Chain A
Amino acid sequence: MNSAWIYRIAMAVLAVSGVAQMPVFKRYGIASIPGFGWTADYFFTHRLHYAAAALLLFWLARRLMTGGPAALGRARLWLLGVLVLTGAVRVLKNLPDVDFSPLTVMLVDWTHLAAAMAIGLAALLMLARRRADARAPINRR
């Protein structure tokens, strides 16, 4: 499979399972659509989030080793760095026998959420720009 597709699939699953960690799919009726009941199963979507995180980390490490940091681009490297660091703290926190202070837990959770939203927005902006570029007359490109 193309390396970019591994990244896209991992990020798409992370986005859906990440949003599912907030109590929104049930409240907004998505979980009651036939076939979407799993979106309101917090434990299932949590495991899905972990599995996709493992895929992303595999891809990231492979990409960084083969292409170096420049292969990702500075902005994406920073955003993914914050996302991965805060995610790693959350994974550690969830293990038995590991506890962090309430303030650390809260700041890490908020930052993870903010980084995920920033990556989503950046991806949408890039997509919009690419489309605009594609529509622009050839001499303005």
Chain B
Amino acid sequence: MFKHIAPNSRITRRTLLKTLGLGGTAALLPDRARAAALPASGGETATLLDLSKCIGCGACVQTCREVNASRYPDPVKPLPTLLPPGTRNEDFSDKRGDDTRLTPYNWLFIQSARVDGKEVHIPRRCMHCQNPPCANLCPWGAASKRESGTVSIDAEVCLGGAKCRDVCPWQIPQRQSGVGLYLHILPTMAGNGVMFKCDRCQDRVATGQLPACVEACPQSVQSVGPRNELAAAARRMARERGGYIYGLEENGGTNTIYYSPVPFEKLEAAVAKGPGKPHLASVADSMADSNTLAWAVLLAPLAGAASALLKGTKRILASREAKGGSHE
């Protein structure tokens, strides 16, 4: 049932330089379009979190920290001086134990709120958008989305510009300065570390295991499976139990779907928000306008060719008219 996710690519600086010249060729060799590659019964893999089951025990947070500890950043100190003056480092290395928010050392935390007399706990991590602006707009190719629906950031490639956080509707990725590729390029002038977030334990999943947070949950809050099936399950739960759903439409659809017994508007008003503490408001598709314009880009060469043909035809007609005129 659970679709395997390919392991992350590992890129060294040597590979970076060697392959720069080969990128044009690579452009001709794209992987398959997802729609064509997935089995008919499948689709992207999603997780459905039934918040009515979550007791906020924190087992998912604890196991996430244990399983991913070896991937946490180990920054050089002192952190590089950044230019221009006023550019600040972001350092969480002295707050590694903080599990009250998202940090480079904590990729999952639990928000809690009391709404309509009910205590609701919400495990928060990357939403794994179906059309993620972080992966689409990363200018350096460090963030990407897999056919499986997982959105990941390659820590060996990321320069820590934090654009992914700026364009993420929930500001999920978190920056740690003093680590990563930028230290070997122009550490004072460009880059500022590496961005970290949940990648749904893609290394574990590649070996046939479940994401650690799913496996560790004593309440079986999370279900994992094809998105279309889980979306249908969420709708059925909402219909039969009178609950609410978040993630089906947000930012064009996410692969993290929440079912809640209370309205998300009320949860949004009740939860603490701020840096590393994402909201629960409804979100419009942030790539919609660009994707409408994409059709103009793809059709522009046809319009140019048509314009050239029109110009040629006009010229031929004009010369014929001129010839006809000279005969008269």
Contacts and interface: CB of A to CB of B under 8 A. Distances in A.
B19 interface: yes
Nearest to A24: B190
B154 A102 contact: yes
A54 to B, nearest CB: 4
A103 B31 CA distance: 10
Nearest to A93: B136
Contacts of A23: 161-163, 166
Given A28-B84, A50-B294, A43 B34 contact: no
B287 interface: yes
Contacts of B145: 99
A119 B312 CA distance: 30
B293 A42 contact: no
A43 B286 contact: yes
A114 B20 contact: yes
B24 A50 contact: no
A85 interface: yes
A130 interface: no
B300 A96 contact: no
Nearest to A83: B24
Contacts of B137: 21, 42, 46, 94
Most buried by A among B23, B140, B154, B300: B23
Contacts of A95: 131, 291, 294
A107 B297 contact: no
Contacts of A112: 23
Interface residues of B, number: 69
15 contacts: A21-B163, A29-B86, A47-B293, A62-B305, A65-B305, A88-B298, A92-B30, A97-B33, A99-B31, A101-B30, A103-B26, A104-B27, A106-B141, A107-B141, A109-B141
Interface string B126-158: 000011010111111110111100001010010
A68 to B, nearest CB: 11
B107 to A, nearest CB: 18
Interface string A34-55: 0000000011001100110111
A105 interface: yes
Nearest to A97: B35
A98 B289 CA distance: 17
Given A53-B297, A99-B145, A104 B29 contact: yes
A107 B136 contact: no
A97 B20 contact: no
B153 to A, nearest CB: 10
A108 interface: yes
Contacts of B11: 103, 106
A104 B25 CA distance: 10
A24 B161 CA distance: 9
Interface in A105-123: 105-115
Contacts of A13: none
Interface string A3-27: 0000000000000000001111001
A102 B9 contact: yes
A50 B296 contact: yes
B167 A110 contact: no
B24 A111 contact: yes
Interface in B277-317: 286-287, 289-291, 293-294, 296-305, 307-309, 311-312
A60 interface: yes
A110 B27 CA distance: 11
Interface string B193-234: 000000000000000000000000000000000000000000
A50 B301 CA distance: 13
Contacts of A24: 190
A96 B300 CA distance: 20
B311 A66 contact: yes
Given A23-B163, A61-B300, A62-B304, A94 B294 contact: yes
A66 B312 contact: yes
B8 interface: yes
A77 interface: no
Given A50-B296, A99-B147, A58 B304 contact: yes
Contact of A108 (B16, B27, B136, B298): B27
Contact of B304 (A60, A103, A111): A60
B80 to A, nearest CB: 14
- Those 4 A-B pairs whose CB atoms lie nearest each other, nearest first: A111-B23, A61-B304, A106-B141, A65-B308
